[in-house]
Amino acid sequence: MNKVSALALGVALSLGLAACSSQPTGSNTVQQQPQLSSGISPTNMDTTVAPQQDFFRYVNGNWLSSTDIPADKARWGSFDELRENADKQVLAIIQELAATAHAKGTDGQKMADLYRSYLNEELINVLGLNPLRGEIARIDNLNNAADLSRYWGENQQFRVGTPLALYVGQDQRQSDQYITGASQAGLGMPDRDYYLKDDERSKVLMAQYASFIETLWQLAGWDNAKQAAANVLAIETRLAEAQWSRIQNRDRNATYNKLSKAELAELAPGFDWPGFLTAAKLNDIEHIVVRQPSYFTAFAKIQAEVPLAQWQQYLKFHLLRANASNLSEPFANASFDFYGRTLSGLQQQRSREKRAVSTVESNLGFMVGKKYVERHFQPAAKERMDEMIENLRLAFKEAINELEWMSPQTKVEAQAKLAQFNTKIGYPDVWRDYQCLTIVADDLIGNLQRSGECEYQRMINRLGQPVNRDEWGMTPQTVNAYYSSTMNEIVFPAAILQPPFFNVAADDAVNYGAIGGVIGHEFTHGFDDQGRRSDGNGNLRDWWTNQDESQFRERAQRMIDQYSNFNPIDDLRLQGALGLGENIADLGGLTVAYKAYQNATKDQPAATIDGFTPEQRFFMGWAQVWRIKFRDEALRQQVITGPHSPGMYRVLGVLSNMPEFYQAFEVKPGDAMYREEDVRVKIW
């Protein structure tokens, strides 16, 4: 089952990557100890490539040439290596738990029995479609539009076949309160653009999707599979045509539309909003934030025009689609063949043990995280991170003061926001409890349904309560980090604090280039094209002068133009407007990290290690972080749907704008890494 929307936690941006307050620690926090290594991996480098020509390949070329993407992966890089390692550590924990008996209702029992329920493939195969028979009957018994709207409301806890998605999160304009929001949803493909493109490759892919719908329909033993697939595809295409693009959905002002229930009914007339909200347990709300108003208007029209029988086909397909990987082998294989092989280029399915671990993490993530932290988190890493974060904060403060394009008035507001940044490192101070969830060893589908109910109830229970500042949006074993605009905080889970991101045995140059750049990335998210719209309290508020706004936009447009010229595969170019926030965060983050490193080591001798100066090691640390290889299918999907630029462009795009890099590696006009000064971008 799909989990509650990430929007429930407010607007968050991940590396995907998020920082706190105390007195800056200054230069004495960085210790150049002789025993520290350079942190550079020479065996990964291709020194036949000049750093001035292609710095990504110079640092990572041998790794790129000698590394094969594992058969069960769509991509492979530094993130994926750490995730694989974290998964193995979690697997060991869960297998130990599964090997012993536990009292009913304990953490050990829940983790062990959820794992066992997934591994019991023999029972799953015997059951076939039986675990869904009751839900199928509910769909078949829908009699009218009112029944349909109530069904969609009830199904919010499972996110299955719901063209509208409800969530409860912080109010972006009153961040000390929770509010209900609503967003477009309901597609089986990763993005609306898959339905709208008319090139030959897209047509073939949509035909394969239609075939997948037919396959699931036939496996269920239902008649008229081809017609059912055509009807489902027609509905989804109409929804896709009405949906906002990912670029439009980035606009935090355009997607904040606070309406009363009466105004919602006027916006999207004809839909049974009272029935829908009552079934979703949200009838008592007074207001709702609608993210895409025009979609809601179009949806109400589509809902009324599509015959009920076709909606029932749509609902039954999505019930199968959402559960297929957890059903008997034919369903699981069909799901993998389309979503794994066709869409992502995978060559083989992950082992059942790996998939079982993912299921446990998806549903009991913080329970698992508590065990993970006990075994694998290094307190020394947190101490060193605290120091680096405060050095980055001080450097960002200096960078704001030094901006030539920003007025004193706006600088005051920016400094106030920076001072209010909060930081979370490693793991939560307060662990999430799962008392609401009952896990049974022989009921996989039931376990997942009860998990959806539990998480949905947890989410809607926020309404009327104080905002929970202790809540985390990622588990400790997640290799990532994030910035939350409504919390105004940056968060670094324990699992990312490992090489190549963070190496306690390495000198500070490579650490500032790697995890320092990540810290700076998260700081800068608070000041990217969307993060800058919030103040230090996390409220959506315009604190910019008109002139500063214009200056920012001009620089941002140059960045959009730069990245839109990158062509990673076929005729697909990066969407500069979609990736703008991440690219601003990369450039600003590494620029500030460099300043922080210079400040912290200004009284220390510049030690050359492994033949590289500190400045060179700094940039090599950044390039190591983003080593990655994609399967073609996964790369296309990343370009179409992902805000993050593929790894090589997070290196080439950033460094070609930094004069500090030019100086460290003597980049000159005519070099491929060189950009003329008048087209370089500097925002922060």
Write out the DSSP string of 484-501. Answer: ETTTTEEEEEGGGSSTTT
| Phi, psi for residue 196 in degrees, rounded to 5 | -100, -20
Write out the DSSP string of 137-166. Answer: HHHHT--SHHHHHHHHHHGGGTTSS-SEEE
What H or E segment, with its residue span, contains residue 61? helix 55-66
End-to-end CA distance of the chain: 41
Say what the pLDDT of residue 97 is: 97
Say which residues have a Cβ less than 8 Å from residue 172's Cβ, sequence separation at least 6: 10, 11, 252, 256, 289, 485, 486, 534, 538, 539, 540
CA–CA distance from 415 to each of 13, 328, 397, 598 (Å)? 21, 56, 7, 21
Given strand 164-171, what is the order of strands in its sheet?
164-171, 174-184, 287-290, 258-260
Say what the pLDDT of residue 11 is: 54
Q: pTM (2 decimals)?
A: 0.92
Say what the pLDDT of residue 12 is: 64
Q: Exposure pattern of 508-531 as b/e (b: 16+ CB <10 Å)?
A: bbbbbbbbbbbbbbbbbbbbbbbb
Say what the pLDDT of residue 21 is: 29
632 is catalytic: no
121 is catalytic: no
Say what the pLDDT of residue 380 is: 82
Say what the pLDDT of residue 14 is: 66
Per-10-residue mean pLDDT for the chain, 684 residues long?
Answer: 41 49 34 65 96 98 97 96 95 96 96 98 97 98 98 95 97 97 98 95 96 98 98 98 97 98 97 98 97 98 98 98 98 98 96 96 97 91 89 97 96 97 96 96 97 97 96 96 97 92 88 96 96 97 96 97 96 95 97 96 88 96 97 95 95 98 97 96 95
User: Which pairing describes strands 628-630 and 174-184: parallel, antiparallel, or unpaired?
Assistant: unpaired
**Burial of 588 per CB tally in 10 Å (0-12, 13-18, 19+):** buried
Say which residues have a Cβ less than 8 Å from residue 211's Cβ, sequence separation at least 6: 229
**Burial of 415 per CB tally in 10 Å (0-12, 13-18, 19+):** middle
Q: Of the listed 214, 522, 535, 548, which one is catalytic?
A: 522
Q: What distance in Å separates the CA atoms of residue 285 and residue 472, rounded to the nearest whole number?
A: 25
Q: What distance in Å separates the CA atoms of residue 438 and residue 105, rounded to the nearest whole number?
A: 7
Q: What distance in Å separates the CA atoms of residue 163 and residue 577, rounded to the nearest whole number?
A: 26
Residue 220 structure tokens: 């269920």
Q: What distance in Å separates the CA atoms of residue 359 and residue 345, rounded to the nearest whole number?
A: 22
Tally Cβ neighbours within 10 Å of residue 646: 23
CA–CA distance from 131 to each of 136, 317, 443, 448 (Å)? 10, 15, 9, 11
> Please, what are the domains in the chain?
6-27+37-87+380-422+471-679 (3.40.390.10), 130-349 (1.10.1380.10)
CA 672 and chain centroid, separation: 32
Say what the pLDDT of residue 15 is: 64
Say what the pLDDT of residue 30 is: 41
**C-alpha torsion 576→579→582→584, nearest 10:** 20
Which amino acid is residue 438, in one-letter code?
T
